[in-house]
Amino acid sequence: MEELSTGRLSPAQLLVSGFVGVILLGTSLLMLPYATTKGISLIDALFTSTSAVCVTGLIVKNTPQDFTLFGKLVILGLIQVGGLGYMSMSTMLALIAGRKIGLFERMLIKESLNITTLEGIVRFIKRMLLFVFTAECIGTLILWYVFSKGHTGSDALFLGVFHSISAFNNAGFSLFPDSLIRYREDIILNLTIMLLIISGGIGFVVVDDLMEWFKNRRRHLMQHTQIVLTVTALLIILGAVVIYINERQFLFKDMSLRGTILSALFASVTPRTAGFNTIDYSMLQPQTLFFTIILMIIGASPGSTGGGIKTTTFTVVLLHIWSTIRGRRDTVVFKKRVPEMLVSRALVILSLAIIYVTVVTFVVEDIEHTGFLSTMFEVVSAFGTVGLSVGNGGALSLAAKFSPLSKMIIIFTMLMGRLGPLTLFMAIMKQQEEHIRYPEGRLMIG
């Protein structure tokens, strides 16, 4: 994206700068003596802050034990800001203060939420914030009820608030040492967390379109909404079936029928960038881990609280491959042609993701020697802003054992996954207009 003629940074560059600024602020707050119980190093504070702002959930410190109430509140605030995007939060504060939202701020919001138009953007933000806080409040009340069975009223309420916000924002931070493994057979908790994850992961544009559709049933859903809902449902069902088949004679062998069904479903939903776990990922079969890696790379949907290459990117690439195989020039979804520019963008995003993840996996594995599949799982989890790990049963991520250099690589990977590889590279590299168009050459492909 070109820089504005005023000399200011482009929206992409400002978006990156804003996220980095929030991360550094969070790091400073977590470094305060009353934020932790035993102190924290700069690299671990930076890692935790980045993981919270990028709504990843990879942890190098035990959240319930190593952070005080103040530290947990800082993490919760970073999750909320990171999940909604700092521009959305800034807009909310500006609206409360009665300040007018300018054109440049609207452009930043558009970039942040992957909205296609500036028209009605403030009205969209208001509806989005209303939906977010309504969903989080409902989630809090249900989880408060669940947690009240084993905790006092105030503790259960805080657990409900924390896990509701963490789930909706696809963050995966938990106040239990084993994440949610102890609740693997609790139907209410599992369904609530999964619904919060899906609600936050399908994207605010989809939610807004569904609301408009419910108001006026004659109106058709947008192509984008149809793709997101269809692919999300298919991936959840397919993921649960594949995970069950892979683990039925291993991890699920001694579980009850309820525990098996809930665990398979949860293990299919949570790689969509949520990070909570009800099973120990260090006990999974290699084929299950590899399949989970694929789910984590795909991730959530555009304009959501999740990361990954996004469901629409994955769909467009698959359909473009199918169209090419069948000898068709156009890529068609639900009887509508996908613009060639979007097809090209989807291919670039997928290519950048695969190249980056592969290179980083080789680099980190060469430094740490933690096992190629385990290292790739950690790298993809960071890139997809998921937070799952083959670490110690959900207590700490594998990254907790990494050297400072590897932790810095994972930190950058989380930031790239949250902002998107294309956005980050466009912000780093200077964009230039193409004044010269060269003649076509002859090249053999395939």
Q: Which residue has the higher pLDDT, 289 or 106?
A: 289
Average pLDDT over residues 87-112: 61
Q: Which residue has the higher pLDDT, 202 or 94?
A: 202
The residue extents of the domains of the chain are: 11-428
Phi, psi values for residue 337, rounded to 5°: -75, 140
Range with the lowest mean pLDDT among 25-34, 92-101, 194-203?
A: 92-101
Q: How would residue 427 be classed by pLDDT, with cut points 50, 70 and 90?
A: low
> For residue 372, is pLDDT > 50?
yes
Say if residues 61 and 67 touch (Cβ distance below 8 Å). yes
Average pLDDT over residues 357-385: 97
d(CA 229, CA 206): 8
**Amino acid residing at 301:** S
Token couple for 11: 């929206």
Q: How would residue 125 be classed by pLDDT, with cut points 50, 70 and 90?
A: confident
For the entire predicted model, the pTM comes to: 0.91
pLDDT attached to residue 321: 95
pLDDT attached to residue 1: 39
d(CA 59, CA 51): 7
Residue 69 burial by Cβ neighbours in a 10 Å radius (0-12, 13-18, 19+): exposed
> For residue 97, is pLDDT > 70?
no
Average pLDDT over residues 408-433: 80
Following CA atoms 51, 201, 15, 116 in sequence, which dihedral angle do they give, to the nearest 10 degrees? 170
Residue 16 burial by Cβ neighbours in a 10 Å radius (0-12, 13-18, 19+): buried
Q: How would residue 2 be classed by pLDDT, with cut points 50, 70 and 90?
A: very low
pLDDT attached to residue 5: 38
Range with the lowest mean pLDDT among 32-41, 68-77, 118-127?
A: 118-127
Place of tokens 């001694």: 254
pLDDT attached to residue 390: 93
pLDDT attached to residue 335: 86
pLDDT attached to residue 103: 61
pLDDT attached to residue 18: 81
> For residue 190, is pLDDT > 50?
yes
Across 69-157, the runs of DSSP E, i.e. the strands, are none
Phi, psi values for residue 7, rounded to 5°: 95, -5
Range with the lowest mean pLDDT among 29-33, 182-186, 442-446?
A: 442-446
Token couple for 416: 């790239």
Average pLDDT of the residues of the chain: 88
Token couple for 276: 């909570």
d(CA 326, CA 345): 21
pLDDT attached to residue 428: 67
pLDDT attached to residue 383: 96
Closest CA to 273 of 168, 355, 350: 168
Question: For 224-278, what is each residue's pLDDT tens digit?
Answer: 999 999 999 999 999 999 999 999 999 999 999 999 999 999 999 999 889 899 9
Residue 72 burial by Cβ neighbours in a 10 Å radius (0-12, 13-18, 19+): middle
> For residue 117, is pLDDT > 70?
no
Question: For 291-321, what is each residue's pLDDT tens digit?
Answer: 999 999 999 998 888 889 999 999 999 999 9
Token couple for 337: 């042609």
> For residue 93, is pLDDT > 90?
no
> For residue 173, is pLDDT > 60?
yes
3-class secondary structure per residue, 256-302: CHHHHHHHHHHHHHCCCCCCCCCCCHHHCCHHHHHHHHHHHHHCCCC
Range with the lowest mean pLDDT among 82-96, 148-162, 339-353, 382-396?
A: 82-96
Average pLDDT over residues 131-143: 96
Question: For 44-59, what is each residue's pLDDT tens digit?
Answer: 999 999 999 999 999 9
Q: Which residue has the higher pLDDT, 385 or 96?
A: 385
Range with the lowest mean pLDDT among 93-102, 118-127, 138-147, 417-426?
A: 93-102
369-394 in b/e burial notation, b at 16+ Cβ within 10 A?
ebeeebbbbbbbbbbbbbbbbbbbbb
